Amino acid sequence: MDERDLIRCAQLGDRDAFAGLVSSHEKKLLALCWNMLGEREEARDAAQEALLQAFENLSRFDAGRSFVKWLLGIGAKRCLDRLRRKRTFLRIFKVHAGEWLGGGEPRPEAVAENESTGRLLLKLPPRERAAISLAVFDDFSAREIAATLGCAENTARVHLFNARLKLKKEVADGL
Amino acid sequence: MACKWVCFAFRALPLPAWRTFLLDRHIDHCPRCRGEALDDEAIRSLGVTPADLQNEPSLLPPAAGRRLPRRRAIPFDWRYAFGALLAVTLLGALVALFRLTPPEPIAQGTVYVTEGDAHVRVFAVIEARIGDEPARPILFKPGQPGMTIVWFEKTKN
């Protein structure tokens, strides 16, 4: 049974077909989420949300497109949503940390974004991180990145270019 | 094209597509610009790849598992195939039914044709009958030299 048959069966509501369909792509999805979020558990949560959303919206999937790219696009959007929520939470937390922690000073490690992994990708802004992850790890073109991130193709190119420059600088600084 | 100008233009300005194309080409081919950006291989080494996640448990709940579908619905295209097959079968049955119906027998008649002169190739229909009834001759000249088609039909009462 090839991928197209699995998609058709899954579109008719067959959960087993959906499981068969995503089983070959879930590692890619998880890797993308991990690269964007930097934490295993959060990446797994985001990837599972993406799978659920994909299952719910499978009837709208255009069979002419690549399924894996469609799935990864959903995953990237879920990660961007999470990063946006996280930023908002951290902003609020920084303001109220004193009250919430009983008058003590907020501990830097409690409010800092997860840098313990030391991965330089996490130092990029979310959209640049998404663009470079999709382009380098999943072979998305600038046009596909633009469609996923909801921006112009030129903007996607700029995100990619900036990300490459910043990473090069970070790597050079780290040496 | 100056590399600094390219970087500035690429990042700062909304550019028409043809200029973006030129800038892209410059960035792809200029060793200096390429040197300032990290290449794909190096970026891959910074992140997690699917190969690193081979031991990760599946994202799907165990109930869904990794089994291929046991019981599956009829694929969508098969419905069209069945419909087409049914239509062809019905059409075949209709054709067979019409063929089984005996056609109306061709009326047998008697025609007397008298040719005048063999060289002149003139003929006249003296009498035409279908069965016991007189018939009406109809002549048709298709335009081919020396060819005349004659057929007869029953005259209406």
Locate the domains of chain A by residue range.
Answer: 3-173
Query: Which of A112-121, B6-15, B41-50 has maximum average pLDDT?
Result: B41-50
Instruction: Give the percent of chain A with pLDDT over 90.
Output: 19
Read off the pLDDT of residues A48-89 as tens digits, 9 standing for 90 and up: 999 999 988 888 888 788 899 999 999 999 999 998 888 777
Of A161, A41, A171, the closest CA to residue A118 belongs to: A171
Average pLDDT over residues B135-155: 79
> What distance in Å separates residue A105's CA from the closest CA in chain B?
33
* 3-state DSSP helix/strand/coil % of chain A, to nearest 5: 75, 0, 25
The amino acid occupying position A71 is L
User: Maximum CA pair distance of chain B?
Assistant: 108
CB within 8 Å: B53 and A30: yes
Query: Which of A105-109, B31-35, B73-77, B106-110 has maximum average pLDDT?
Result: B31-35
Which residues have C-beta within 8 Å of that of residue A38, sequence separation ≥ 6? A113, A114, A117, A119, A121, A122
Picking from A59-63, A95-99, B36-40, B68-72, which range would have the lowest pLDDT averaged per residue? Answer: B68-72
CB within 8 Å: A14 and B73: yes
A167 to chain B: closest CA residue: B38
DSSP state of B153: E
Distance of CA B129 to the CA centre of its chain: 52
The answer to whether A145 and A159 have CB atoms below 8 angstroms apart is: yes
Residues in chain A within 8 Å Cβ distance of B3? none
Considering only the beta carbons, identify the residue of B11, B17, B72 that sits closest to A162: B11
pLDDT recorded at residue A168: 86
pLDDT recorded at residue B105: 61
Residue A117's pLDDT band, with cuts at 50, 70 and 90, is very low
Q: Where would I find the H helices in A38-120?
A: 40-56, 67-100, 108-111
Which residues have C-beta within 8 Å of that of residue A143, sequence separation ≥ 6? A153, A156
**Could you give phi then psi for residue B29, rounded to 5 degrees?**
-105, -20
Taking any CB pair shorter than 8 Å as contact, residues of chain B touching chain A are: 7, 10-11, 14-15, 17, 20, 24, 27, 36-38, 40, 42-44, 46-50, 52-54, 56, 58-60, 64-73, 75-77
Read off the pLDDT of residues A22-35 as tens digits, 9 standing for 90 and up: 888 999 999 999 98
Q: Is the pTM of this model over 0.80?
A: no
Which one is predicted more confidently, A130 or B143? A130
> Given a cut of 80, is residue B122 above it in pLDDT?
no
Q: Which helix (DSSP H) or strand (DSSP E) does residue B125 occupy?
A: strand B123-130
CB within 8 Å: A19 and B67: yes
| Homologous superfamily, domain A3-173 | PhyR, sigma-like (SL) domain (1.20.140.160)
